[in-house]
Amino acid sequence: MLITDISTTECREILARNGFGRLGCARHNQPYVVPFYFAYQPDHLYGYSTPGRKIEWMRENPKVCVEVDEVSSHFVWISVILEGRFQELTDTPEFARERANAQMLLEKRMLWWQIASATGELQNLGEEAKPIFYRIQIDSITGHRALPDVIDTQYSRFIELEE
């Protein structure tokens, strides 16, 4: 298997076309990893969530890591890893513009009625159940691509026969 670095430009293309990955946060050095959907716009990922452990932890410690991959097989995969900072887009004048931007991007990307219900009907719910819009400021990004080499190709025939 040959593993090579991929360019930042390609990393960004992968973020833009996927919109699904794993978000890692940490508290007292205990990591926590969850699957999540996002919308990408240069330098930021936008997401929303109902309140819970992930949000509590990121409010306390905004350092996050996001991993996004496209795995075709053991030999053929791409993985992008970014480090960034959680920023909550509170329902206040300060964040009105970015919150509207987040909502617009997420509506394009995701299931629009989920966002609609999150911003509309659910306004009647108590604070503890209201969805949270947030963005992740991307600080650094790296990516790797694996491709099979000659040995893998030889052996993969046997693997296919065995499976």
Chain contacts with its own copies (rule: CB under 8 A) = 20, 22-35, 37, 61, 63-67, 69, 71, 74, 77, 79, 81, 83, 110-111, 113, 151, 155, 159
> Whose Cβ is closer to its own copies: residue 31's or residue 91's?
31
Contact 12, 141 (CB under 8 A): yes
Taking the complex as a whole, the smallest distance from the CB of residue 91 to its own copies amounts, in Å, to 23
Contact 66, 22 (CB under 8 A): yes
> Whose Cβ is closer to its own copies: residue 98's or residue 107's?
107
Taking the complex as a whole, the smallest distance from the CB of residue 84 to its own copies amounts, in Å, to 10
> Whose Cβ is closer to its own copies: residue 21's or residue 95's?
21
User: Two tokens at 35?
Assistant: 């699957």
Contact 106, 19 (CB under 8 A): no
> Whose Cβ is closer to its own copies: residue 80's or residue 89's?
80
Q: Residues 135, 137, 140, 142: what is their CA dihedral angle, to the nearest 10 degrees? A: 20
| CA–centroid distance for 73 within its chain | 21
Taking the complex as a whole, the smallest distance from the CB of residue 162 to its own copies amounts, in Å, to 10
